[in-house]
Amino acid sequence: MAETAVSSPSAVAAAQPASASGSLLNAITSRLVIMVPYLWLLFFFLIPFIIVFKISLSQTAIAMPPYVPVLGVGEGISGFLAQLRELGIDNYVWLTEDPLYFNAYVSSVVIAAISTFLALLVGFPVAYGMARAPASIRPTLLMLVILPFWTSFLIRVYAWIGILKPEGLLNQVLLATGIIDQPLVIMNTHAAIFIGIVYSYLPFMILPLYSTLEKMDFSLIEAAQDLGCTPTGAFWKVTFPLALPGVVAGCMLVFIPAVGEFVIPDLLGGSQTLMIGKTLWNEFFANRDWPVSSAVAVILLLLLVVPIMIFQSAQARAQEQGR
């Protein structure tokens, strides 16, 4: 008895450092885990962005790589500083001088906005139907939404050419059934781009909508109707406000890539469609003007990502308050 009484304080003393080191280890592990996404962003977003930003301040040159200066410390610190002095905002000034860029930005935003709205119109009923389907078939429906991703995006867009062209599948079916007597001109118009973008990005609209609608208690709609709301009224007063986070997320997921989209306008939109992604592609590959295309990319990023980040943080704050 006496022995245990004597030994127990030392046992406690021995246990303490062990638990302290344990909590330290925990703290380090949790920091490490949090660091992984930050490192990812650093290496795959921030550093590439800094490189692009630097190139946008350079001058084009017939060289390898096709711009000057190439920063380096080969000529010492003073050489590096001299190189820095060569950087300038000429390319940004150039973007404001040629209306092509401004028009391309505006046209991209407009096309992306219309496509996003159309994707919402198509995606909402689909997501709603999925959320109200029997729980047993929902995984299958989800699978069907994701299934197109198993085929290459490029091939799927090419397939649309086969469907939309004047002698394509759609026109043949419509002519054969007598609905039209002249083939519809869809290829190489904005309509073809809308179809292409809505088709390609629909899953990104459906999935967030589905996940919010699935969580919704459908007795809320019955309650609204019970209190005198018509089904349409109940949709706008209850379903839609509750689905709003999904609507916002889905629209972001469609709008952001759609603005920079270049494959779809290039393949389906023909030569007269102006979109910033296509302009960027032309500057980069046809003109080999890396600095100007970098400037185009930086402006695109500022135009899109910054307002979206502000919007999202405002939303997060609003949600925090609501909780």
Partner 1 sequence: MKSLGSIRRDFAPWNDPDAKPYIAFENVTKRFGDFTAVNNLSLSIYEREFFALLGASGCGKSTLLRMLAGFEEPTAGRILLDGQDLRGIPPYRRPVNMMFQSYALFPHMTVEANIAFGLKQDGMPKPEVDARVAEMLKLVKLEQFTKRKPHQLSGGQRQRVALARSVAKRPKVLLLDEPLGALDKKLREETQFELMDLQQSLGLTFVVVTHDQEEAMTMADRIAILDRGEVMQVATPAEVYEAPASRFVAGFVGNVNMFEGTVAAREANTARITGASGAEIVVENAGEAAAGNAVAFAIRPEKIKVSSRKPEGAANAMEGEVFDLAYLGDMTVYHVKLTDGQVVKASALNSARVTEDPLTWNDRAWISFRPDAGVVLTR
Binding footprint of partner 1 on the chain (CB under 8 A) = 217, 219-220, 222-230, 233, 237-238, 241-242, 322-323
Of the pair 189, 225, the CB lying nearest partner 1 is at: 225
Identify the bridge partners of residue 60 per DSSP, sorted by sequence position: 67
Helix (H) or strand (E) holding 172: helix 169-176
- HSE at residue 77, side-chain half, CA atoms within 13 A, is 0
DSSP letter, residue 67: E
Which residues fall within 8 angstroms of residue 146, CB to CB, at 6 or more apart? 203
Query: Over the range 213-235, which residues count as b (16 or more CB within 10 Å of their CB) and which as e?
Result: bbebeeeebeebeeeebeeeebb
Q: How far is the CB of 224 from partner 1 (least distance, A)?
A: 7
Of the pair 75, 226, the CB lying nearest partner 1 is at: 226
Q: How far is the CB of 248 from partner 1 (least distance, A)?
A: 14
Q: How far is the CB of 226 from partner 1 (least distance, A)?
A: 5
Of the pair 39, 316, the CB lying nearest partner 1 is at: 316
Of the pair 146, 223, the CB lying nearest partner 1 is at: 223
Q: How far is the CB of 212 from partner 1 (least distance, A)?
A: 12
Of the pair 177, 219, the CB lying nearest partner 1 is at: 219
Q: How far is the CB of 81 from partner 1 (least distance, A)?
A: 58
Of the pair 115, 212, the CB lying nearest partner 1 is at: 212
- HSE at residue 162, side-chain half, CA atoms within 13 A, is 5
Query: Do 72 and 80 contact (CB within 8 A), yes or no?
Result: yes
CA distance linking residue 294 with residue 298, whole number of Å: 6
Q: How far is the CB of 216 from partner 1 (least distance, A)?
A: 9
CA distance linking residue 279 with residue 272, whole number of Å: 12
Query: Do 299 and 128 contact (CB within 8 A), yes or no?
Result: no
Rounded to 10 degrees, the C-alpha dihedral 67/69/70/73 comes to 180
Q: How far is the CB of 240 from partner 1 (least distance, A)?
A: 10
